Amino acid sequence: MENGHKSSATTKILDKVLELLDSEGVFGTDRDQPVVVFKHPKELTTEIPDLDLEAPITDEKQLWDVVRRIIQHCVKTSHPYFLNQLYGGLDPYGLAGAWISEALNTNQYTYEVAPAFTLAELAVLKRVLNLIGFQNGDGIFAPGGSIANMFAIALARYKMDPTTKNRGISHLPPLVMLTSEESHYSMLKAAHWFGVGTDNVIRVKTDERGRMIPSALVESIESALSAGKKPFFVNATAGTTVLGAFDPLAQIADVCEKYQLWMHVDACWGGSLMFSDKYSAILKDTHRADSLAWNPHKMLGAPLQCSILVIKEKGLLHQCNSAAATYLFQQDKFYDTAFDTGDKSVQCGRKVDAFKLWLMWSVRGQTGFARLVDNCMDVSRYFMSRIKEMEGFILVLPEFQCTNICFWYIPPSLRSATERNQEWWSKVSEVAPKIKERMIMAGSLMIGYQPLKHRNLPNFFRLVTTCHPPPTTADMEHVIKEIVEKGADL
């Protein structure tokens, strides 16, 4: 440590943490290191028996030894070959911001206890509102995209009928939410919690690329109305979880306008494209929505959790959620209590999620973000074009709009089949889980796989690139090589 280091007890512990993380290669992008040293649950319990908290660890050396073994058995999500989820490596400045706000351990509910962080949150929200095109809007950070979407549902219902806040919904006909069949399952979970019920989530049909069909949306709304139900919320997805599809925002906005329905955009995954000159056109109509959710902790590499909901109508968030607790939100404080943002939230205490994004943004600016997003998209396009021409790879869609590229790998033994019937596809369905197991046991690569049952598609791989660590075309060649090797004898 440099001068100024006072070596408090806490600082010594944290110094040790930094040394451990560094020596275990947690921040490293060394491609020769394994992505994961996988152990099954029972093996891992045997390997690190101290995990069970049976007795305190009294010896300092033993403690750090246990912690080292835990770190060794974590997945290295910052590894260039971790391409398993919609998130991956960290922006190092984002992590710096996270560590700082963790150390200052405060709550984002009042200016009183989080003065600088409150201003940082406002600054970030202002920039995001500007990018989305909400001129005089509002926003809030939520603990994850699912809860950000729930905020939007609460706003939509409150806007439709403010008396639902105090009266509940029992005086209303059954409420209906509309979302595409490719959209995120958080809509179902939210419908349950909100008392709407999962049966009242209408899964609107999508086209061949996975985008909501506006005419199908109209039919769904009409059919709900005829059934005496009350639609109140339409969710458009900008970047679906599996196929990365973007719903046609302008056309959905037209429908919402016609039927006077709240239009929300779940841009949790695809929202980061907003920074790109090359790829942001797909988001140009976000300004027509009423609210939009975006997770900078996904593609952009902010540390988890970093989720934003932005809203077009200023003031609504506070009206909708406020409970005006007198022990927190006293109006006789000596400072401008308009800066106490907590009562906009359904939460009481709220982590400082804004500062990590603030720090990343300060360093990189919008053009820096643009370069990172462009690279991450460009490299995924490279992968897509490479496997299009390669024997043994079949793309699930002819093109993909986001960085998730979905494909089957057909091992040599299955390639010569005369007929691609049910039996053949069921063999193909076993390929991805088997290759994945081999890759994980080797620690050589992590990518996801899944079926899409409503499209009758058996297990396929989904490779996802994110901004950090910046992926390269060589990384994509590694993916191809790994799959071909691990699947050679299947």
Residues 315 to 344: which contact its own copies by CB under 8 A? Answer: 320-321, 323, 325-328, 330, 332-336, 339
Q: Which of 31, 34, 65, 107 binds its own copies (CB under 8 A)?
A: 107
The mark string for 186-215 relative to its own copies (x by CB under 8 A, - otherwise) is: x-xxxxxxxxxxxxx---------------
User: Cα separations (Å) of 128 from 51, 81, 138, 291, 354?
Assistant: 42, 30, 10, 12, 12
Could you tell me which of 183, 219, 225, 186 has the C-alpha nearest to residue 203?
A: 183
DSSP symbols for 368-398:
HHHHHHHHHHHHHHHHHHHHHHSTTEEESSS
Residue 475 phi, psi dihedral angles, 5° rounding: -60, -40
Residue 474 CB, nearest approach to its own copies (Å): 20
The mark string for 293-312 relative to its own copies (x by CB under 8 A, - otherwise) is: --x-x-----xxx-------
Residues 13 to 42: which contact its own copies by CB under 8 A? Answer: 13-23, 25-28, 36, 38-41
Nearer to its own copies, 333 or 481 (CB): 333
Q: Which of 33, 100, 318, 394 binds its own copies (CB under 8 A)?
A: 100
* Residue 423 is a binding residue for its own copies (CB under 8 A): no
Q: Is the distance from CB of 474 to CB of 383 less than 8 angstroms?
A: no
Nearer to its own copies, 314 or 438 (CB): 438
> What count of Cα atoms within 13 Å lies in the side-chain half-sphere of residue 8?
4
Residues 375 to 414: which contact its own copies by CB under 8 A? Answer: none
Residues 436 to 455: which contact its own copies by CB under 8 A? Answer: 436-437, 440, 448-453
> What count of Cα atoms within 13 Å lies in the side-chain half-sphere of residue 274?
24
Residue 23 CB, nearest approach to its own copies (Å): 3
> What stretch of H or E contains 70?
helix 60-72
d(CA 233, CA 156): 6
Buried b (16+ CB within 10 A) or exposed e, 84-105: bbbbbbbbbbbbbbbeebeeee
Residue 250 CB, nearest approach to its own copies (Å): 28
Nearer to its own copies, 11 or 385 (CB): 11
Residues 168 to 187: which contact its own copies by CB under 8 A? Answer: 168-170, 172-175, 184-186
Helix (H, G, I), strand (E, B) or coil at 409: strand
Q: Which of 31, 33, 65, 92 binds its own copies (CB under 8 A)?
A: 92
